Structure 1
Amino acid sequence: MRLTAFASTLALAASLAVAPPAYAQPAAAQVPPIRTDVPSQLPRTSRPIHYTLRITPDAEHLTFAGNERVDLAVLEATDSLTLNAIDMEFGAVTLTGADGAALHPASTTQDEENQTVTFHFDRQLAPGRYQLTIDYHGKIYTQAAGFFALDYEADGAHKRALFTQFEASDARRLFPGWDEPQFRTPYDLSVVVPRDEQAIGNMPTATRTPQADGTDLVTFQTTPAMSSYLLFLGTGEFDRITTRAGNTEIGVVSRRGAGEQGRWALESAARILPYYNDYFGTPFPLPKLDNVAGPGSSQFFGAMENWGAIFTFENVLLNDPAITSEGRRQDIFVVAAHEMAHQWFGDLVTMAWWNDIWLNEGFASWMETKSTAAIHPEWEPLLGRIDGREGAMGLDSLRTTHPIVQDIRTPDQMSQAFDAITYNKGEAVITMLEDYVGEAGWRDGVRAYIRAHRLGNTVTDDLWHAIEGASHREISAIAHDFTLQPGVPMIEVTATQCTAGSTRVTLRQSQFSRDNREGQPLRWRVPVIASAGGAEARTVVENGEGTLTVPGCGPLVVNYGQTGYYRTLYAAPALAQLTRNFATLRPVDQIGLLADNWALGLAGYQNASLALDMANAAAPDANNRVWERIAGMLDSIHGMYDGDEAHQAMVARLASGKLTPLLQRVGWSVRADESPTDAILRTDLIGTLGDLGDRAVVEEANRRFAANDASVREGPLRTTILAIVAANADAATWDRLHQMARAETNPLVKQQLYRLLGAARDPALAQRALDLALTDEPGATNSSALISAVSGEHPDMAFDFALAHREQVEGLVDASSRSRYLAGLGGRSHDPAMIEKLRQYAEQHMTPQSRGSVDRAIASIQDRIRVRQERLPDITRWLDAHAAG
């Protein structure tokens, strides 16, 4: 339907007049230049200076009307203006020059493929200042991209809330503009809402004005100059709870009635913000910082750092006692810490182009760990950091990897850049460089970087220069090695010799690869730390070789403290000594050694069973995270034997023998005095043993479910128990779970129950879950997650189903995820036939720029097949020998 026309531009300007912001904006005479050292998909003939936007949603019909005024500068003579826009219909368009003369486009061209609109004028536009006003209409989507709706039930009524998600390239779905990060401008935003609804933006509300039709016009204060992808708008029936930290009002916004479930997130943010204000040396510059909870989910993201208005799906923000475990409670804190770090690294200072997105994500990932370690050391987050490093190395050791700093040109490439290389390798490299520079020098460099580039855009070298200037340590060469080339270095300990109380170590640098052992290894300058029971020693391995004298003659640990981003391959005598003395090592090095030796074994650099020898040497009272690593290794081996029931049973018996005593120690019930790590270990042990089919654990889970035990109705074990029940479900049990999902009114619990329906091992029940996903019942944002859940046990079935219903399934996935969603389903397979299916899918439905996800999925399948064929026999021999012994 067509909506009534907007008021005139002058009336709009009057209605949006607000008090000047408290922070400094660029002077009116200044026109920020366009950087020519970064890519742009738009002509460099013009740039925006200030946006004024008014949005009128029609939530029922999933459309909106927009009116936009852009103050802009024409930098070179041109007869056209090209802006980013997609899925829009345009009405009146007027360009007004400094002389007051108004021009209307002679024609308008929309390019859906390149997501642009071009307004052509019948004469040249001279360089100078102009105002462009546009009336237009756009779509409200049902998946989390652009301006989108999230539906839920409350008090028996259907509710709809509206939110925005713009990273990386979806602001163009709300307003036509220069949707690239270097085009920072202030924004004046207003929205028309029903009188009983609230509106949330980046800034506090300036005015709320009743309208004649019973709606209200909500106008927000002017934002700082910022990139388009950081603009935020949310409307709906909300609760907002608040507190203060320094000069900042902190809020958590949730659907009405769920406000108190945001209390833990609010309290967490109030502790994180002062830490960041101090660490960055620049206080948070906005008057308020909200975290906005949205029901539903996305296959692309869980939270987004919109400046002053973080958006987070409520399943990773709200602390619901019905389902929140200790692990989830910690995740709430960590996700908030990540998004709040972006308020400086990403928002106050923004990368100039998506090539350097790691400056946002890698740094925020590193900062989330650093702040958590400072505020909650009892959670031992530094031990968990190794999990992120391993996730990065898993991708980085395949041919299909990419450097941290990428070459990105298209929207599809932008969305695919958000992976473990960007986040976790970025974090690992920063961890290594901070350790090399020193904590104080690194912090001083970060502070200098923030001061120098406040309200500006940067490239990666800007950070290195700031660190070097503040710390007086040269790091650019090392940093370039790790950020501008892909891959994982490997440090080989080729010889050790103890003389006069010290260990002389000979090192060689090569490259760790899972599928390219024959290739010429790259070269890195690798900072190395080692210990042999005494003081640590340091060196930088350059040109492929190095030596090191380490005090002490005890077991030699290279990458001592696990701050380096590299694999360590030990000569046999050194590895044997480490295994014998494994129980005496620090937990962080135990975890790192287990991870290294497991990966090295699966890649064929050594016998795959050597990691099992090391796991066997773990003491019963080893750190809980060490046991979580061992449990994960055993679960992985069990999965490798899919189809070999005899050896799966061997692995299950081995796991039960090692893990059941630990479960008996922590028990099934929460203890009042237990540590947070015990609470997480309990969940991990029950989940792992249940996944391995441990009879006692599966029977106990089923007993509690059948009895409707209190632990199944709510509490920290609810999800874990139901996951075991769902995986082992028969038709009657699946029907009961389905009925629970249909009857559930809590959106958080409902979403979780529908995902569990996809976890059944029974293929017939998995098919029922897939069929259910294509109905309206699960909800618009839950269906894609249900299909993904099926792919956990049945990747080939899920992929074939999704491909057969491709258009319908892609409609269930947000636009930013479509180029990788189906690849993610098939990528979990170990069937060689899936490789050809994925290739055909890419050839028929993907562009060369968007098929990176398919290439990575194929590489993962090939590696999985290779491991089963070539490395699993090592483990089989080990299992057989231990069973016989």
Structure 2
Amino acid sequence: MTFLIPGPPPKSGSDGSGAPDANPYRLPRDVQPVRYDIVIEPDLEAARFVGEVRIEATVQRPVDSVTLNAADLECSDATLRQSGRAVGAEISFDPETERMTLRPVDGSSLDVGQVQIACRFAGELNDQLRGFYRSTFVDEAGETRTIATTQFESTNARRAFPCFDEPDLKAVFGVTMIVPPDLMAVSCGELVSSEATTDGRRRDTFADTIQMSTYLMAFIVGDLEATDPVDVGGVPLRIVHVRGKSALTAFGLEAGAFSLAWLVDYYGIDYPGTKVDLIAVPDFAFGAMENMGAITFRETLLLADPQKATTAELLRIVDVVAHELAHMWFGNLVTMDWWNGIWLKEAFATFMQVATTDAFRPEWKRWDEFSIERGAAFDVDALSTTRPVEYEVVSPADAEGMYDVLTYEKGAAVVRMLEQYLGPDRFAAGVQHYLERNSYANTTTTDLWDALESSSGEPVRSVMDGWIFKGGYPIVSVDAHSSGLTVSQHRFVYGTGESDDADAEIWSVPVMVRARLADGNTVERRLLLADASATVDLDGPVEWTVVNAGGHGYYRVRYSGDLLAAVARQALEVLEPIERYGLVDDTYAAVVAGDASAAEFIGLVTDLGSETDLHVWQRMIWGLKGLHAIAEPAGRETVAVLIRDLATTALGVLGFEPQPGEPDLDRELRGVLFEAAGGRGRDELVRTRARELFEAASGNGAAVEPNLAAAAVQVAAASGDETDYERMVELYRSADTPQSELRYLQALLLFEDRQLFERTLELFATEVRTQNAPYLLGAAMTHLDWGPVAWEFIRDQWDELTSRFPQNSISRMVGGIRGLNTRDLATEVETFFATHEVPQGALTVAQHIEKMWVNVRLREHEGARIGLPSQAQTS
């Protein structure tokens, strides 16, 4: 299947998706907001809210009505006041476009100038985790408590109050909340007054915000408490959480304080708000949300006990905290003009989160870890159903579909590639120039390129447009010649979905080369490959070379046979870990694309058996698990033995037991190797040890190092029985940290017994929080034996599941079909989705389906050859 891609989206104000007058979902520009005053009264017991909004606006030309956004609201008592005269307004709704029109009841018009729009409204605190919604938790006394909280991005502020709900219609917000006296209220501004009302409630008034978009507004109320604020350069920063979880806040505070200070220094611009609240919410559809000064998070991404959390879990907290704080400038202070430019904020915040985390804990090698996330973007971008990073957005459903790996990880990867090509100092200067020039305003992609061109003197726009406005990416082929190398590019694609002119597609590729020459000298070259091929003159024949030196380019590399053999033989000595990661990743991708055999990948992994780097090991093991999943029984056993042998040998070198003072990544690597050996490798000694560690970690035994404890849970589940299953369900329900709760839920997916697996599916569908259940059900379809059972469960309960779960999570749940790899089942899945649409993720679902078929073809081509003698595998 093919997805037709338009050219670069037009800027707002021209014809096309960005033009309000051409898009039925966009508001006219004849009335524009300046200020909102919102009074909101949530009733947590009734799951309802009422409120009143007054909007100061500017009439740009005479009009006979005002149109703004409203959805799922009951609106009444609308008035329009101009020049001291107030007139009632008739209210009409267009549910399809989520617009509300106010028309003076006396037939009068509004003149150019200021107007005040007032309206009362009411609505339900919904369970869909969008707009103004309810979240619940069980307190220390065992009572269920309710929180009312918000999630407005992209177009859900209109579900909480009538507003001009588009990113370029910025305004100042003043918020007042009327709440029960025993509950805490939080909003974007600091609390400036709190007074009792005559009916026994409390009126909390918050300071005005900066001029900003509606999607950045937030208000939360519930049985909450806050840490003491930490002063970060004059800005108070604290964590807000449900009562009773203060012991889990220290690490998040440390990460927040470091990130805020580091980002102020990087941007060279003061924090644009007056306070920072990091708010842990029990139910949250996204990972976190950058509401101005009131950032909301999933609990697992903010609250943790460092003595029990793994390195990866702690890293993720720093990542997400840094990501959201990065938005305070890139997104909040300077905002994309329209939703087609979501990548402008999300890709840059992803880039900044990695840079910040790398500064916070350099020993975590965060930029090496980013190779894994970039690989997820590679995987989607090699499909015919990929899309450009920036493309046409018309409706709210289109905007929801932008929140994917291409916006975040591909966008961040090409930003990182550009930074490395320009140099970090010139790049940072361009970013500061961009933010200073556009503060409190809205921009398009070209504004960023112009600022970077100005600071660097390089043709940034001509280089980067191809990476942003065109889907896909190149593979750079490398051959030797007498005085250097020949490099050429063509589009990298999986399978048979590519267009006829794929070979003719050209990018401006920043290529970094390092090579050892026959005379023993090592040389480096940098070039911009803007044609189909080029010669790299190195002044002599090459012994070995690494193209994409440094590992930061968004392209794959395929070496000629002799060059590949030469670099693979010496990879452990001559390549940096991130470069070895790229070599392994590119080789596995070539297997999936049909350009290399499984035997070639297995040979490379075997050559790297003495590897000591965590991230390279992760990619090697994931690749072997991928081959294990598609192999026939005999081949599956061969791969299992290989995983066991490689993992146990590496464990023997690293040591089975943690050592005092050893690096964090060694501890994480031990967990990875332990899980591989005891899971797919089925090593009995490891399984026995895993059970001992599991009992110690889940009982009253000695503390177990967190990375090893987490791995032991997985291995114990993979080899567990019904008694183990009941124990893990109990541990999930009584977990004392968010990370532990999720860890035990994920472990339930590893039990091999079908009846236990089916119980897990029911548990996910009925009991587990809706923020987690769709993702867990998706993961269930990747189960080695029972993935098809999970598919049947989802298929048969489709209507119930999709009505219960947040709409933006459905396409994520469907992502599990990528794990299915038989032709008959793939045909059934594709037929099902031909009549069961996912409006917020239609393109994402198409990508899942295409990748499923890629896996089917991979199994049919390689599955029966895995485990055969090498000459048969490569024939």
Distance 1:822 1:594, change over 3 A: closer
* 2:551 counterpart of 1:562: yes
* 2:358 counterpart of 1:373: yes
* 2:83 counterpart of 1:102: no
Q: Is the 8 A contact 1:396 1:488 kept in 2?
A: yes
Which residue matches 1:520?
501
Q: Is the 8 A contact 1:524 1:542 kept in 2?
A: yes
> Secondary structure of the equivalent of 2:79?
strand
> Quick check: 413-422 or 618-627, which moved more?
618-627
- How far residue 778 of structure 1 moved from its aligned partner, in angstroms, is 3.5
Distance 1:787 1:492, change over 3 A: closer
Distance 1:372 1:322, change over 3 A: closer
> Secondary structure of the equivalent of 1:792?
coil
Q: Distance in 1 between matches of 2:530 and 2:524?
A: 19
- How far residue 710 of structure 1 moved from its aligned partner, in angstroms, is 5.2
For residues 212-227 of structure 1, what are the structure 2 equivalents within 5 Å?
212-227=198-213
- How far residue 34 of structure 1 moved from its aligned partner, in angstroms, is 8.0
* 2:687 counterpart of 1:698: yes
Q: Is the 8 A contact 1:34 1:47 kept in 2?
A: no
* 2:490 counterpart of 1:504: no
Q: Which runs of no fewer than 5 residues in structure 2 stay unpaired?
A: 1-10, 21-25, 517-521
> Secondary structure of the equivalent of 1:555?
strand
Whichever residue aligns with residue 611 of structure 1, its letter is F
Whichever residue aligns with residue 869 of structure 1, its letter is E
Whichever residue aligns with residue 562 of structure 2, its letter is P
Q: 2:256 aligns with which of 269, 293, 314?
A: 269
Q: How many residues align?
A: 838
Q: Is the 8 A contact 2:188 2:291 kept in 1?
A: yes
- How far residue 496 of structure 1 moved from its aligned partner, in angstroms, is 2.9
Q: Distance in 2 between matches of 1:848 and 1:790?
A: 23
For residues 107-186 of structure 1, what are the structure 2 equivalents within 5 Å?
108-121=91-104, 122-155=107-140, 156-186=142-172
- How far residue 321 of structure 1 moved from its aligned partner, in angstroms, is 5.0
* 2:378 counterpart of 1:388: no
- How far residue 712 of structure 1 moved from its aligned partner, in angstroms, is 9.5
> Secondary structure of the equivalent of 2:436?
helix
Whichever residue aligns with residue 120 of structure 1, its letter is R
1:678-710 per-residue CA deviation (whole Å, 9 max, x = no partner) reads 111122122223330333323332344457555
Distance 1:852 1:619, change over 3 A: closer
1:322-366 per-residue CA deviation (whole Å, 9 max, x = no partner) reads 741122112111211111111111111111111111111111111
Whichever residue aligns with residue 200 of structure 1, its letter is V
Q: Is the 8 A contact 1:321 1:715 kept in 2?
A: no
> Secondary structure of the equivalent of 2:280?
strand
Whichever residue aligns with residue 175 of structure 2, its letter is L
Which residue matches 1:540?
528
1:476-495 per-residue CA deviation (whole Å, 9 max, x = no partner) reads 11101111111111111133
Q: Distance in 2 between matches of 1:75 and 1:605?
A: 60
* 2:266 counterpart of 1:279: yes
> Secondary structure of the equivalent of 2:249?
helix
* 2:821 counterpart of 1:830: yes
> Secondary structure of the equivalent of 1:260?
helix
Q: Distance in 2 between matches of 1:607 and 1:239?
A: 57
1:531-581 per-residue CA deviation (whole Å, 9 max, x = no partner) reads 113231011112211111236733111111112111111111111111121
Which residue matches 1:312?
297
> Secondary structure of the equivalent of 1:344?
coil
Which residue matches 2:385?
400
- How far residue 191 of structure 1 moved from its aligned partner, in angstroms, is 1.1
Which residue matches 1:606?
596
* 2:238 counterpart of 1:251: yes
- How far residue 669 of structure 1 moved from its aligned partner, in angstroms, is 4.1
- How far residue 116 of structure 1 moved from its aligned partner, in angstroms, is 2.1
- How far residue 199 of structure 1 moved from its aligned partner, in angstroms, is 1.4
Q: 1:430 aligns with which of 415, 423, 440?
A: 415
Distance 1:462 1:111, change over 3 A: same
Q: Distance in 2 between matches of 1:269 and 1:42?
A: 37
1:363-422 per-residue CA deviation (whole Å, 9 max, x = no partner) reads 111111222223321111121121122111100000010001111112222112111111
- How far residue 197 of structure 1 moved from its aligned partner, in angstroms, is 1.5
> Quick check: 672-681 or 841-850, which moved more?
841-850
Which residue matches 1:877?
868
Distance 1:570 1:626, change over 3 A: same
- How far residue 774 of structure 1 moved from its aligned partner, in angstroms, is 4.2
Which residue matches 1:792?
782
Q: Distance in 2 between matches of 1:58 and 1:433?
A: 50
Which residue matches 2:4?
none
> Secondary structure of the equivalent of 2:205?
strand
Q: Distance in 2 between matches of 1:496 and 1:332?
A: 48
* 2:635 counterpart of 1:654: no
- How far residue 654 of structure 1 moved from its aligned partner, in angstroms, is 0.8
Distance 1:523 1:728, change over 3 A: same
Q: 1:291 aligns with which of 278, 297, 303?
A: 278
> Secondary structure of the equivalent of 1:319?
coil
1:775-820 per-residue CA deviation (whole Å, 9 max, x = no partner) reads 4x434545445433433314433333233333321233223334x1
TM-score w.r.t. length of structure 2: 0.91
Which residue matches 1:805?
797
> Secondary structure of the equivalent of 2:45?
helix
Q: Distance in 1 between matches of 2:84 and 2:130?
A: 37
Q: Name the Cα RMSD after superposition.
A: 2.5
Q: Distance in 2 between matches of 1:786 and 1:148?
A: 22
* 2:612 counterpart of 1:622: yes
Whichever residue aligns with residue 507 of structure 1, its letter is V
Q: Which runs of no fewer than 5 residues in structure 1 stay unpaired?
A: 1-32, 498-502
Which residue matches 2:57?
72
1:580-607 per-residue CA deviation (whole Å, 9 max, x = no partner) reads 2112122121111111121122212233
* 2:562 counterpart of 1:573: yes
* 2:473 counterpart of 1:488: yes
Q: Is the 8 A contact 1:181 1:229 kept in 2?
A: yes
Q: Distance in 2 between matches of 1:628 and 1:774?
A: 31
Q: Distance in 2 between matches of 1:731 and 1:723?
A: 15
Q: 2:713 aligns with which of 711, 722, 727?
A: 722
Q: Is the 8 A contact 1:756 1:789 kept in 2?
A: no
Q: Distance in 2 between matches of 1:607 and 1:757?
A: 34
Q: Distance in 2 between matches of 1:77 and 1:836?
A: 57
Q: Distance in 2 between matches of 1:543 and 1:187?
A: 51
- How far residue 865 of structure 1 moved from its aligned partner, in angstroms, is 0.5
Distance 1:259 1:669, change over 3 A: farther
1:611-639 per-residue CA deviation (whole Å, 9 max, x = no partner) reads 33222222625323222222222222222
> Secondary structure of the equivalent of 1:78?
coil
Whichever residue aligns with residue 639 of structure 1, its letter is A
Q: Distance in 2 between matches of 1:739 and 1:606?
A: 46
- How far residue 444 of structure 1 moved from its aligned partner, in angstroms, is 0.7
Distance 1:39 1:681, change over 3 A: farther
Which residue matches 1:16?
none
Distance 1:596 1:790, change over 3 A: closer
Which residue matches 2:219?
233
> Secondary structure of the equivalent of 2:162?
coil
> Quick check: 121-130 or 440-449, which moved more?
121-130
Q: Distance in 2 between matches of 1:743 and 1:623?
A: 35
Distance 1:853 1:671, change over 3 A: same
Distance 1:347 1:845, change over 3 A: same
Which residue matches 2:514?
531
1:422-463 per-residue CA deviation (whole Å, 9 max, x = no partner) reads 111111111111122122111111010000000111100100
For residues 307-456 of structure 1, what are the structure 2 equivalents within 5 Å?
307-320=292-305, 323-456=308-441
Q: Is the 8 A contact 2:401 2:842 kept in 1?
A: no
Q: Is the 8 A contact 1:243 1:270 kept in 2?
A: yes
> Secondary structure of the equivalent of 2:523?
coil
Distance 1:524 1:744, change over 3 A: closer
- How far residue 665 of structure 1 moved from its aligned partner, in angstroms, is 4.0
- How far residue 73 of structure 1 moved from its aligned partner, in angstroms, is 2.0
1:16-65 per-residue CA deviation (whole Å, 9 max, x = no partner) reads xxxxxxxxxxxxxxxxx985573442223222111111111111121111
> Secondary structure of the equivalent of 1:253?
strand
Which residue matches 2:29?
44
- How far residue 769 of structure 1 moved from its aligned partner, in angstroms, is 2.2
Which residue matches 2:728?
737
1:88-145 per-residue CA deviation (whole Å, 9 max, x = no partner) reads 1112111111x22222223x33232322222233343333221111111112122321
